[in-house]
Every structure is written in C-alpha cells, then in structure tokens.
A and B are shown apart, each in its own frame.
Chain A
Amino acid sequence: MNKWLKVGLILVPVILMSACGSTGAKKGAPVTGGATPPPADSARTSPLDSGSGAGITPLPQTGGMESQAGDPLNDPASPLAKRVIYFDYDSNNIRAEDRATIEAHAQYLAQRGNVKVTLEGHADERGSREYNIALGERRSNAVRDMMSLLGVSAAQVASVSYGEERPAVLGDDESAWRMNRRVEIVYAGQ
C-alpha cells in the first residue's frame, strides 16, 4: 500500500496537467453519459481519440515490457482482471484481501488520466430498497476514497449505487447474499 501511495503522490501533478483539457466532475452535472471518451486500452483503438479532449496523451504503461500483449486491463493474469470487491453484511469496510486489487486499479488509473471508471455499489436483498441504495453508495465511496488516496483523480471516478436492484446472484441465503454485497469496477468503454 505504501509503495503505491508514493507512486500515486508522484503522479498526481502529471494527472492534473493531463486532465485539465477534459471536463471535471461538477456538482449537479451527470457523472456518466454518452460522451464518455473511450479508454485508451487496446491496440486496435487509437489512444488519441478525438473524443477524449484536447491534447491528452496517455502516459506510458507500466506493463510496457509486455505491451505486445496489449493493455494489462485485458490480461486475465493481471490483478486488474479482478473487478469485483465483496463486503460483509451492512459493512463498507474493505477487506484486507481486496486491498491489492484496489491498489492495482488505482495505479492503473493514476497513470492514465483519461481512463474513467464507474464504481457500482450493490447490496444484498435484506432490508429496505432505499436503505440499500444508501448502503451500496457507502461501499462504492469506500473504494473511491481508497483510490483517491492512491492518487486517482476525482474526475476519473464516478460512483453509483444500485442497492439491491441488480443482484449478481439470485437466491435467498448467505451464499447468494455475499456475492451481491459488492462494488463492481466498470471501465468506461468496456
């Protein structure tokens, strides 16, 4: 964690500079929308996509040595392949075993100021629906806050809670519930 924190702090000024041409998140403005620039991810997509704003150049990727294989986002062996963080009942505490996953995503994002993610918070079906919306937001905000500490720009991360409305697994016992108490890290354009 400390290592990534340092990396994050060093990268912050670079990100701020490279992000200045894009629109920042404003209160009251839609967080996601049709105009989200596609991520500079695969080899097939031009990283200088005209939709991504003025003069944003993606930073070199850390996984540069294996760049023939493409974006580490698409590497099933990469820690980035894990996109779901699970939570205990009525809790938004990030479990120790999930920290490395969030750190990997934070590092990836911190190095690519034009890549955006939506953190989708979810809850299990117990309790009222609007309370679960609030609980899902607590979870997505917990992941967002950790990413922010690791140097990810606020403009890159949107947080949305679906509460219990979009369960990953149907079922009315703990085996289903634990799969539904989650935050999904969704990369724009994926």
Chain B
Amino acid sequence: MLVISAVSALVLGTNARAALTIEITKGVDSALPIAVVPFGVSGDPLLPVDVAEVVAADLKRSGRFAPLPRQDMLSRPSETAQVNFRDWRLVNVESLVIGRVNRAGAGYTVQFQLFDVFRGVQLAGYSVRSDADGLRRAAHQIADIIYETLTGEPGAFNTRIAYVTVAQLADGSRRYALEVSDADGYDPKAVVNSKQPLMSPSWSADGNRLAYVTFENKRSQIYTQNLLTGQRELLASFVGINGAPAWSPNGRELALTLSKDGNPEIYVMNVASKQLRRVTESLGIDTEPAWAPDGRTLYFTSDRGGSTQIYRVAATGGRPERVTFEGSYNARATVSADGKSLAMINRDNSGDHIAVLNLQSGALKVLTDGRFDESPSFAPNGRMIIYATRTANRRGVLAAVSVDGGVQQRFSAREGDAREPVWSPMRQ
C-alpha cells in the first residue's frame, strides 16, 4: 500500500525540492477541539517522522479542527490504560488521539485510538502498516480515519497535488517543472523539467499517470507519463493546438482540445487506440473539457455565444447547452466528485475569482477575492478547492479554499512561481 511513495523516487527527472509550507489564512470559529498526543515509540526512539504532529497538522489545515498545543497537555498517554479523561475535559478537548509506533521488520506498525472525551469511549482504533519511508503516509491515513469518524465525510489527506513551477533565471530564460507533492506540500518532486512551457496537468483516475501539455518541441504536444516508471507517451501532436487534456473517469479516454481542423474544438481520444472522436463543432473557441464523474457529460469553455461561458455536451457529441449566466467571463470549469457542483473562473469588475456553481439550484458562490485566481481543482472529497493565485508582489502561489468559503490556506515560502494545481484522486 505504501509502495507508491517509495517508488516515486524513480520518476523521470526527479530531484528534491523545498517543501511547500501551508499557512491557514482563514479558519472557522467552530473548529473541533482535539488533542493528538505524541505517539509512543517501541524500540528505536529516533523516528524520521513525528506521526502525531503530521496528523495534527492535517486536521488543523482542514479548518475543522483545533488541535491542542502540546505544552497544554496535562498528560501524554500512549495506551488506553494511561488515559485519564479528566485531564482532557479540564482543557476543553472533545476528542483525543493516542498511538504507538512499533518496529515491524524493515518498516513500522502504527496503532492509534480515537476517544470521545466527554463520553469516555473509543470511537475508532486501527493499526496501520508502513514501510520504512511510509510513516508520513501512514499519518495521513490516520488523519483521514479521524476526519471521517468525526465529520462523517471522507478525508483527503492521503492524496497528492500536481502543479507547474516556473523559475525566472538571471539570463532572462525560464525553467518550467511539473511537480508532484503530498497534499500537505511535503516531498515535492519534479516529474518533468523543460525550458519551454509546461501546462494543464491532469491526473488519471488511478492516480498513477499524468497527462500534460509541453512545448519542448516549440509547439504544443500532449504527453502522458507514468509516475511509477517515468515512462512517457506522446498522445497528441497535431497541427495547431494540442491542449487541455482531461482524463475520463474510467481512465480509458482523454478529452482534449485540438485545432487541427481549423479552430479549437473538443475531441475525445481513446488512450489505447489513439482513435479520435470529435465532440464539438462551432466557429468559436471550444476548450477546457471537464468530465462529469459519470463519464457521460463534458463541461467546456466556449465563446460561441459572444461572451466566454461554460457549456455542457454529451461526451458522445450533440447539442451543447449553456450552463453559466452570471458574469461576463466564466472559464476552466472542473466538476466535483459527486457531480453536483462546478468550480470555475468567474470574472467581475475586480478581476478573476474562483466560484462554485450549484448545478441543481443554479446558485453561484464566489469564494475568492484575488484579481488573478485561476485553475481550480476539487479535493477528491469535494470539501476544498485548490487554485492558483498571486501575492501582492505578483508571485504565483497555490492556495486552497473550502467550498463554503469558510477556510482558506496558502501554500507558500518557495522561490519562483507555482500555478495550475490539480488534486489527485483518492489513493487506491
């Protein structure tokens, strides 16, 4: 289960990068007070990872939990028998997490328990196996279980993000990289480096491959790349635009934009046979296809009606139907995992913001107030949206916002620009 993190070191063009650090810029008042006690260690006391710290940071970052600082803990139990619920009631903690890390061969077994402090009962208890390099991942899995137990919704901590970085060199040239990191910004690795632009990463449904656009041959081309082996495959290299790849939910098809027949249209390519099916036909720009989770509908950006708006069409083709009506410019839609909402760029007089459209009610909610917010991507649990924004001094950075707007985070403290974040699917 933890093989992926170990093998990712083999990925093409890998090099170690400074981790992104995440700062919570806005949290909710109703965050649940929780204590994650430092985990006990059997045997070797020097672990590479402070598991409890990673768990607490995950929970805090969601904005829905307020972990108790360690210095405020009156006791530090690591086994049930050591727990005195009064110690936790005194500091107004509602949930308590204790655990222990045991050596198991070359790896570890991490066991943990989650308690309801006021009722004095255990809510969850599991043992998670991890290889030598997998302790952070085990911690994210534990955070996911705690999150789901207490909120009733699946967590998305044990996931990754892909994004593009750009560094401006002293000689005026640029270095582009497609990077993949854990969802908490840790362990970023470049999977492709190029002197020419890289764009539009898209995860396959199994999380093992990325499709993206490269200009390394001085024109746009779409490649897919296996993250386990580093193997690349050229998928589209037609005359004109080869852009906006979007992997279908079943992993067998790729929606993409091609202008080979004159102007940008949406096509669907069978990844195995490379056979193309044209989906749209208009004189305007049709681009940025996004799949509905059932794989039967594509949302896309089009200026066919004069202004740039989101439309939807059957993935087999047909008559498109306009979806957005608020705002002079709506683009780059992405669909939530439950298929009920779209996130997109929405423009008003103050700039381009991230907005969410409820597809059932038609209600549009603007979530961000930057001038250049773009490239929204839902967490696989639908709770947060990661996107690209700008700092006051024009640096491109990644940020995240909860779908209700209540929680905001910023990924920061690195050099160069980061852009086009895409959240991976749930790890399988």
Contacts and interface: CB of A to CB of B under 8 A. Distances in A.
A41 interface: no
Contacts of A134: 241, 243, 257, 259, 263-264, 285, 287
B239 interface: yes
A50 B365 CA distance: 63
Interface stretch (B53-61, B104-112, B368-376): B368-376
A42 B92 CA distance: 81
Nearest to B331: A128
A133 B218 contact: no
B85 interface: no
Contacts of B394: 170-172
Contacts, number: 98
B219 A131 contact: no
Interface size class of B (residues with CB under 8 A): 35 or more
Contacts of B199: 129-130, 133, 163, 165
A33 to B, nearest CB: 7
A160 interface: yes
Given A127-B352, A130-B200, A131-B287, A32 B219 contact: yes
Interface in A119-139: 125-131, 133-135, 137-138
A137 B287 contact: no
A163 B264 CA distance: 13
B238 interface: yes
A129 B257 contact: no
Nearest to B200: A130
B260 interface: yes
B372 A130 contact: no
Interface in A131-190: 131, 133-135, 137-138, 158-163, 165-166, 170-172
Given A130-B244, A131-B285, A31 B219 contact: yes
A31 B238 CA distance: 9
Q: Name the residue among A127, A130, A172 with the largest chain B CB count within 10 angstroms.
A: A130
B134 interface: no
B197 A166 contact: yes
A159 B243 CA distance: 15
Q: Name the residue among A133, A161, A162 with the largest chain B CB count within 10 angstroms.
A: A133
Given A32-B218, A134-B257, A161-B241, A129 B200 contact: yes
B332 interface: yes
A119 to B, nearest CB: 12
Contacts of A128: 288, 301, 331-332, 345, 374-375
Given A133-B287, A134-B241, A161-B220, 9 more contacts: A28-B260, A127-B329, A131-B308, A131-B332, A134-B264, A137-B241, A165-B215, A166-B174, A171-B394
